[in-house]
Chain A
Amino acid sequence: MFGKKMLRDIVASKAQFISIFFLAFLGVFIYSGMRAEWEGMRVQVNSYYSKTALADSFLYGTDFNTETLAEVRALPGVKNAQLRLELDTIADLPNEPTLRLLISDENRVSRPLVTGGAEFDPQGDGLWLDERFASDHNLRIGDEISLSYGMLSFRLPIRGFIFHPEFVHDVRDNTQLIPDASLFGYACVPASAVPIPGELPYNQIILDIDDSASADQIAELNASLEKIPGVFHLMPRKDHPSVSMFEAEIAQNRSMATLFPILFFFVAALSMLTTMTRLVLSQRTLIGTFMGLGFSRRKILLHYVSYGLWIGLLGGILGLLSGPPFIAALLYSFQRVFYSLPVWRSEVSVISVLSVAAAVVVCVGASLLACFRELREMPAEALRPKPPRTGKHTSIEKTRFWHRLSFISKWNIRDILRQRIRSAMAVAGVVGCTMMLIWGIGIYDSMKESQEFFFDDLQLFSQKVFVEEGFSDSSFSGDASDIQAVDERAIRVTGEEESMIFGARIFGEGSLVRFEDTKGNEILLPDEGVILSRKTAEALDLSVGDTLSFRLLGFDDDYEVEVRAIHRTPFEQGFVFSKSAFEKLGLTMSPTVYLLSEEADIDVNTSGVSEVQDEAFMEKSYGQMLEGFNMIIWVLFAAAVLLGLVVLYNLGSLSFAERTRELATLRVLGYPLPSIRKLLRRQTVILTAIGSLLGIPCGFFFVRLITETVSDNVDFPTYISPLSVALCVLGTFAVSLAVDAILSRRTAKIDMVSALKSIE
């Protein structure tokens, strides 16, 4: 019987209950969807790593051979080890892309995952090619690729297509953010297929560590590994650029996935509370009747709580069913631009199921809270109608400002203060709406600002030429443009617990790269000391005037240097020296890159040149990444509009229902419809104004959260243009006035006669 009553009550107030259903649905939909996304990524990447036995440690050095390998294998704790030669070759294909070869005579550690063609054979011939690279260049199995490395050139047939666990983030190095298969790829090559006589000059040893090894044993092993002759650098798996990049991506998705739904649950709780309070109030005499008939308080309470239970449960379950397939698929389409995984599959965990419980608890809790107050009364009291809410003089009425307000404003301000929960709910909804709009547009603005800052203000060159050791800059002598030599290398800073590797750039004479401090003032490269990027300075906890010591990779000599300035740049975090400052430390600069102020027609096949990058091309690929973000931005916009519509519609119809009697009285007194609509709209405008004002800083906070956590290698300034803020506020008002337009149609339908008959 009570069930029937509940269904009819819900139908009678369908607008409110539908909006609560939507909020519960959206909360679970987004939470379970986003959670399934990052959990799916974690599960898939871990299974990928273990299936392919991704190396636990990477040893970089020179002239490794079978003796070195034997030495490594003999160390306690080493389960498996393998020699590898990593070679960046130029492929004879359009755009002259770099193809990174991983050459080995074994297939024990970091094994490729073959997705087409023959099984990988470390004793065979030919090469097994990066699947993305192959499809970008329309290569098929059996095709031959011509490769060149310095003076050496050779042709290899394609035997199969592969994914490789070290190339989840499939980029050349950390200066390239977005993978671009037209420019970079990788291939696994059996040692026997490479036409180099004798033993190959292996430059890597990759190894698996026993699973049973303790932290102490690993530290001991690492110490022994670093002492092996020829070793420059030991990198544990977690520091591998691809691994750490993907790990950071998962962490970032995780924090977004937690924050986002909290907002929805909060608003759902407020909506449920207001709706149930109104329902229970309107059924006050009914509750009295039930009590009089002898129903226990518990039974009545259970009845009203069941509204929340069913709505929360229904919304939650539908959210759980549709969130993971929909949201995860949507976000994966975006992630695929950045990362290569053999399988993208979402993962629904127990915690996602618990979010349904959270939705139910939120709805039930709000119902309970709404009922408790009424049920405490005696049946006889409950049977009597409740005296109308008292008007009160509020403290703002004492201010001079109050008297200047129009009559309509005074009325609305009192009404807002009288219905605090309802007003709070509206403000929360508007805050959420503005916040998400700002969030979306802020991410875009910040990235766009970074792009302009980096490409227009900092990078003054138009071409970047990567060269090999021993290249002579006399090759450029024919060109009229300015040339600046840069030595890009890695250095190691040894801390108390672990050592960290940073990029270092040593600049020769010239001014093709500008540096700015965190306040936007130009910094000139000092003749002494080092300047650090903001993120590097933060990572090392250093400020201007501090000194630090570093080592070159593969050497044990410490160099002490003073931090002279901290600069800000979106990309290329790390150390910056001038040539003279570097030489004052007793070190020699050997250029790896030349920057050219004008684009020159440089043949990649020129001896010693390994790659040529045009600034326009680099900027274009950044632009493509920005477009990739559009998806996320549209999702945020859609969520913002949906939240705004649902909450404001709920509020509007509640407010309308509560004030029907007052509005009818006004109609009878002769108020024209437009005046009544204006009266209602004024309240919407006041609450929307408050909400969007509060929403702006919240939005900034969320944008900052994203830009600050995006990665250690990038430093996006948080930036939102005033125009964007204005657009977001305008958008919020548009949503709010749209709801108002829908609701104001009801004012024409107010039935003056029946509304005045008697108090319900």
Chain B
Amino acid sequence: MTSLIHFEKVCRSYGSGSSQVTALENIDFSIAPGEFTVVLGPSGAGKSTLLNILGGMDRASSGTVRFGPDEITAFDDARLTRYRAEKIGFVFQFYNLIPNLTAFENVSLTREINQSALDPEKTLASVGLEHRINNFPSQLSGGEQQRVAIARALCKNPELLLCDEPTGALDSETGTQVLRLLRKLCFEEGRTVVLVTHNAQLTQIANRVIQLRDGRLIGDEINPAPIDATEVRW
């Protein structure tokens, strides 16, 4: 099977000279289309940096990152912006909804930048929020806000869904709901999902687990039998 994502000798360091800090060092891995990947590591391991480089928000200092046929490490800013707009759906720990826009309008945002965006109303319905579309973020619970954020990501019809600690700010019950939704998107709808977390329990739901520590890759395993999100013990 050809890989969707391919990292080759990717390094990322900040600063220069003696104050140089290395966040990622010689990272190599591949992810196949339709896989549910969990990137695991303690805080400071470099997992967010990895996600940011993959999502086109940050640049590798060296090495190459491929997405399908494209080498995104060679993209200029405009091309990166288009890459984010067309291929990537983001879900953040703190949802990052625009407080000034309703759930519907937050999701509709994507239609401004992506011609092939899906219908916002249907997308919201698919995450179970059809009755909340005219509410502002402040009128929604945390779980609901995260589902709006997921709908916003899905609306682009992205090839890759990137989630940075999507359950980090949620209680276990709503966290489980969000995970179930993400699993459904992957295993039933065939989307590729990369989820970053420090919670080792979440590795059980993935079929690939990448482990980082101190900027180095210390594990890249296939989980032959991923379990359902409801069975995860928090």
Contacts and interface: CB of A to CB of B under 8 A. Distances in A.
B114 A670 contact: yes
Given A387-B138, A414-B101, A675-B113, A668 B94 contact: no
A391 B84 contact: no
A176 B84 CA distance: 74
A407 interface: yes
Contacts of A756: 92, 94, 96, 164
Contacts of B88: 670
A414 B136 CA distance: 12
B94 A758 contact: yes
Contact of B85 (A392, A411, A669): A669
A302 to B, nearest CB: 33
B105 A670 contact: no
**A interface, how many residues as a size bin?**
20 to 34
A508 B109 CA distance: 80
A752 interface: yes
Interface stretch (A13-21, A131-139, A604-612, A659-667): A659-667
A410 interface: yes
A392 B88 CA distance: 30
A668 B113 contact: no
Contacts of B96: 661, 665, 668, 756
A671 B113 contact: yes
B112 A675 contact: yes
B108 A392 contact: no
B61 to A, nearest CB: 14
B139 interface: yes
B86 interface: yes
Interface string B79-107: 00111111010101110111111100100
B157 interface: no
A672 B136 contact: no
Contacts of A415: 100
Contacts of B98: 411, 662, 665
B114 A388 contact: no
A410 B105 contact: yes
A669 B110 contact: yes
Nearest to B48: A753
Contacts of B112: 407, 671, 675
Given A410-B105, A669-B90, A391 B85 contact: no
B57 A753 contact: yes
A477 interface: no
Interface residues of B, number: 40
A411 B102 CA distance: 10
B101 A668 contact: no
Contact of A670 (B85, B134, B137): B85
A519 interface: no
Contact of A414 (B86, B92, B100, B156): B100
A668 B90 contact: yes
A407 B108 contact: yes
B78 interface: yes
Nearest to B82: A670
A388 B138 contact: yes
A703 B57 CA distance: 55
Given A662-B98, A753-B52, A670 B108 contact: no
A669 B84 contact: yes
Given A390-B136, A390-B139, A415-B100, A673 B92 contact: no
A759 interface: yes
Nearest to B80: A670
A389 interface: yes
B110 A389 contact: no
Contacts of A759: 94
A80 B23 CA distance: 98
Contact of B102 (A391, A675, A758): A391
Contact of B78 (A665, A672, A758): A672
A418 interface: yes
Contacts of A669: 84-85, 90, 109-110, 113, 152
Contact of A418 (B85, B93, B100): B100
A571 B88 CA distance: 75
Contacts of B143: none
B215 interface: no
Interface string B98-132: 11111001001110111000000000000000000
Interface string A627-663: 0000000000000000000000000000000000110
Interface in B150-165: 152, 156, 164
Among A410, A661, A672, chain B packs the most CB atoms within 10 A around the CB of A672
A610 to B, nearest CB: 77
B34 interface: no
Contacts of A675: 112-113
Contact of A391 (B83, B113, B137): B137
A99 to B, nearest CB: 76
A662 B96 CA distance: 7
Nearest to B108: A407
10 contacts: A390-B138, A391-B136, A414-B100, A418-B100, A667-B81, A669-B109, A670-B86, A672-B85, A756-B92, A756-B164
- Give the 3 A-B residue pairs with the shortest CB-CB distance, closest first: A670-B85, A391-B136, A670-B84
Given A407-B112, A675-B112, A756-B92, 7 more contacts: A389-B99, A661-B96, A668-B84, A669-B109, A670-B83, A670-B114, A753-B57
Interface of A: 387-393, 407, 410-411, 414-415, 418, 661-662, 665-673, 675, 752-753, 756, 758-759
